[in-house]
């Protein structure tokens, strides 16, 4: 019976290119051959998550449904729904009039516009509403009259126009004082985005009185209210009306950049220093260890913050500030590996054969130490993402309007007290997913490349 021809596995083809004892080989082969073991599963999971994030970071301009920097909708729109948004604005311009103390953009602060002459009129317009979508569901105006400053028997007549003042509605008498009077205009005509645009809607106020006695009427507040349905957002909008989902996507790039800069720079400094210090030993080693230990003893986040204050707030600068925390980490890890590798037989043998110290250092020691690097690398990468987010949260990291998870989270944190959770929840959630991916990767690799643990397991 002829043996079934075995299809060359991926591992077989890789074997041709990558020697089993090379750094890559020592990581890759266990990953493929024992892919059902827990460490390998964790590693693959981690690799998958990281790849997805890298892809998102690169493709985010294409994937983002909205401009991440523009105010595209009402503020604080909840996720997963077309929420009704109330746009309200008071008037920002008014016609020449005998009315006194007219101010644009009146606030409800007790300052009144008053009229002393019966039948004095004023036309107020430029209600600067922010309506983004042609889905107007409710239109009304709101009047607040000040009862204390109004003479009894005097009241306000209001007409409205939705065509820039060309035609006016019949007059409505407002005789309620000290509380908001809302007049619903929704059924009176068909409303759309164009009909509520600034400049289209105007109100005309007339000072009316029951008898012809002198007196005044005091208007505290007048506003135009439009309720419209927002666009649909997967993760809602943030406190200024930007799309949270788009910002989360674009923020991926920021996080990955800071992480990469921070971790690579730390590697570039910490690894050679650790090699050198561990191999030469002596006084230099002692001093370096002392310096690194001191650095390590400082609260890392605030140390990075101090450096960030020193060198600035760009993405690159924050990456470099984060580096400070990880240099000691790489230094210590490398040095301890060198110390143990130095005593290994093959190094002794090489030394006995008369190899130059430089060659021993690079060819024999560094090479073996390098295997441990991917582990520290992914673990410190997870930590770097957290540190960068923490810096932004404390206001020491990158600055607005950069799309950054930590920054968005902290900008929305003050909304938690009124129950608006989505604008801080989702940026935090992606931080968690990315850091979980990175630490799965790190822990999986750790189990794989650390032969002591493997021997223990078998």
Partner 1 sequence: MARGSSLLAYALTRAILALPMLFILLTAVFVVLRILPGDPILALWGGRTPPPDAVERARVQLGLDQPPIVQYLTYLRNIFTGNLGISIGEQYRGTPVWSQIATRFPATVELAFGGMLVASLVGIPLGVVAGANRDRWVDLGVRLYGTIIWVIPIFWLGLILQLVFGVWLRWLPANGRWTGVDTPCAPPSTCRFQTGMYTVDSLIEGNLGHFATAVSHLLLPSLTLGLVLSGFFAKTVRANMLRTIGADFTEAARARGVPRRAIIYRHAFKNALVPVVTVLGLQFAILFAGAVLTEKTFSYQGLGILLLESITSKDMTMIQGVVVFYAAIIVLISLAIDILGASIDPRIRL
Partner 2 sequence: MWIVIVAILIVAIIGISTYAVLSARVPTKVGIELWYNNDGHYGDTETALALTLQNSIQSCGRVTVSLKSDPWAVYKQNWANQRMPMFLLGWYPDYFDSDDYASPFLSIAGAKSLGSFYNNSQVDQWITEEQSTTDPNIRTDRFTKIQNALADDVPYIPLFSGVAQTAYVNSVQNVELHPVVFKWFIVDKPGATVLNVSTSDKVISLDPASAYDFFSGEIINQVFDTLVVYDWKNATLKPGLAQDIPTRANGLVSADGMNYTYHLKAGVTFHDFPLNTPLTAQIVANSINRAIRLDLPGSAAFLLYDVGALGRDATNGNNSSPGAIEVVDSSTITFHLARPVSFFNDLMAFSVSAPVPDSYNQAGEQPSTAGSVIGTGPYKMTTHTPNQLIVLDRAFGTKASNTYYNKDLYSPTLGPIPIMDRIVINIRASAAALKQDIETKAVDVVFRTLSPPDLVDLQNRASSLGITVKLGSSPQIRYLVFNVNKVPNKLVRQAIAFSVDRSAISQIVFLGTASPLYSMIPAEMPYSTAVFQSKYGDARCADANNLLAQVPATIELIALARDR
DSSP 241: S
DSSP letter assigned to residue 187? G
CB 334 within 8 Å of CB 248: no
Size of the site for partner 1 (CB under 8 A): 46
Shorter beta-carbon distance to partner 1: residue 142 or 436: 436
Binding site partner of 9, from partner 2, partner 1, none, Cβ cut-off 5-8 A by kind: none
The angle at the Cα of 77, spanning 432 to 104, to the nearest 5 degrees, equals 130
Give bridge partners of residue 141 from the DSSP assignment.
183, 224
Asked if 411 is part of the footprint of partner 2 (rule: CB under 8 A), the reply reads yes
SS3 126: strand
178 close to 135: Cβ distance less than 8 angstroms: no
- Give the separation between CA 56 and CA 249, rounded to whole angstroms: 7
CB 289 within 8 A of CB 229: no
Stretch that binds partner 1, among 120-128, 212-220, 237-245, 305-313 (CB under 8 A): 305-313
59 makes contact, choosing from partner 1, partner 2, none, with CB < 5 to 8 Å by partner type, with partner 2
- DSSP string of 356-379, one letter each residue: -HHHIIIIIIIHHHHTTHHHHHHH
Which of partner 1, partner 2, none binds 431 (CB below 5-8 Å, type-dependent)? partner 1
Q: Quick one: what does residue 305 bind among partner 1, partner 2, none, with the CB cut-off 5 to 8 Å set by partner type?
A: partner 1
The pair of structure tokens assigned to 319 is 């990456």
How big is the site for partner 2, counted in residues (CB under 8 A)? 49
> Considering only residues 71-130, where is the footprint of partner 2 by CB under 8 A?
71, 75, 87-89, 92-93, 101, 103-111, 126, 128, 130
Site residues (CB under 8 A) for partner 1, limited to 383-402? 386, 389-390, 393-396
Q: Does 31 bind partner 1 (CB under 8 A)?
A: no
Instruction: By CB under 8 A, tell whether 48 contacts partner 2.
Output: no
294 lies in the binding site for partner 1 (CB under 8 A): yes
Looking at 111-119, 176-184, 253-261, 419-427, which segment touches partner 1 (CB under 8 A)? 419-427
Out of partner 2, partner 1, none, what residue 61 binds, judged by CB under 5 to 8 A for its kind, is partner 2
Q: How many Å separate Cα 162 from the centre of its chain?
A: 40
- Contacts with 21 (C-beta within 8 Å, 6 or more apart), sequence order: none
Q: Which does 294 bind (CB under 5 to 8 A by kind): partner 1, partner 2, none?
A: partner 1
Smallest gap, in angstroms, from Cβ of residue 54 to partner 2? Answer: 9
Residue 212 in the binding site for partner 2 (CB under 8 A): no
Q: Pick the closest to residue 135 from 203, 47, 226 (CA basis).
A: 226
Determine, following the binding rule CB under 8 A, whether residue 425 of this chain makes contact with partner 2.
no
The residue count for the chain: 458
Quote the least distance from Cβ 106 to partner 2, whole Å.
7
If one counts every other C-beta atom within 10 angstroms of the C-beta of residue 211, the result is: 8
Sequence-distant (≥ 6) Cβ neighbours of residue 180 within 8 angstroms:
142, 143, 144, 221
What SS3 state is found at 254?
helix
Name the site residues for partner 1 (rule: CB under 8 A): 38, 290-291, 293-295, 297-299, 301-302, 305-307, 309-310, 382, 386, 389-390, 393-396, 406, 409-410, 413, 416-419, 421, 424-425, 428-429, 431-432, 435-436, 438-440, 443, 456
């Amino acid at each position: 019976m002829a043996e079934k021809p075995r299809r060359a596995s991926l591992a077989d083809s890789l074997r041709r290119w990558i020697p089993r004892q090379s750094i890559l080989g020592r990581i890759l082969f266990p990953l493929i051959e024992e892919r059902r073991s827990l460490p390998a599963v964790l590693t693959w999971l981690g690799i998958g998550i990281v790849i997805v994030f890298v892809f998102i970071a690169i493709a985010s301009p294409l994937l983002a449904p909205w401009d991440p920097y523009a105010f595209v909708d009402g503020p604080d729109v909840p996720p997963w729904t077309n929420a009704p948004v109330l746009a309200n604005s008071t008037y920002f311009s008014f016609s020449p009039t005998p009315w006194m103390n007219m101010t644009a953009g009146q606030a409800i602060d007790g300052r009144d516009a008053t009229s002393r002459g019966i039948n004095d009129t004023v036309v107020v317009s430029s209600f600067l509403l922010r309506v983004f979508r042609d889905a107007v569901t409710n239109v009304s105006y709101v009047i607040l009259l000040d009862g204390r400053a109004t003479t009894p028997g005097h009241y306000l007549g209001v007409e409205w126009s939705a065509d820039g003042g060309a035609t006016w509605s019949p007059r409505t008498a407002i005789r309620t004082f000290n509380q908001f009077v809302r007049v619903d205009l929704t059924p009176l005509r068909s409303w759309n985005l164009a009909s509520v645009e600034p400049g289209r809607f105007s109100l005309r106020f007339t000072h009316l009185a029951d008898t012809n006695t002198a007196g005044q009427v005091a208007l505290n507040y007048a506003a135009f209210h439009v309720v419209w349905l927002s666009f649909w957002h997967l993760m809602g909008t943030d406190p200024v009306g930007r799309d949270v989902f788009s910002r989360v996507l674009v923020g991926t790039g920021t996080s990955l950049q800071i992480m990469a800069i921070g971790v690579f720079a730390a590697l570039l400094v910490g690894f050679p220093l650790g090699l050198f210090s561990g191999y030469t030993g002596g006084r230099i080693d002692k001093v370096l260890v002392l310096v690194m230990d001191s650095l390590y003893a400082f609260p890392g986040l605030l140390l990075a913050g101090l450096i960030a204050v020193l060198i600035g707030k760009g993405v690159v600068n924050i990456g470099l500030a984060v580096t400070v925390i990880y240099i000691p980490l790489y230094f210590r890890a490398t040095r301890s590996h060198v110390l143990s590798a130095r005593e290994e037989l093959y190094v002794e043998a090489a030394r006995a054969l008369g190899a130059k110290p430089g060659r021993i250092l690079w060819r024999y020691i560094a090479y073996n130490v390098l295997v441990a690097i991917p582990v520290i690398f992914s673990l410190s990468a997870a930590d770097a993402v957290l540190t960068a987010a923490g810096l932004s949260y404390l206001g020491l990291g990158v600055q607005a309007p950069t799309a950054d998870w930590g920054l968005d989270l902290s900008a929305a944190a003050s909304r938690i007290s009124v129950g608006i959770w989505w604008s801080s929840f989702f940026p935090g959630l992606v931080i968690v997913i990315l850091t979980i991916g990175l630490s799965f990767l790190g822990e999986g690799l750790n189990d794989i490349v650390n032969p002591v643990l493997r021997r223990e397991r078998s």
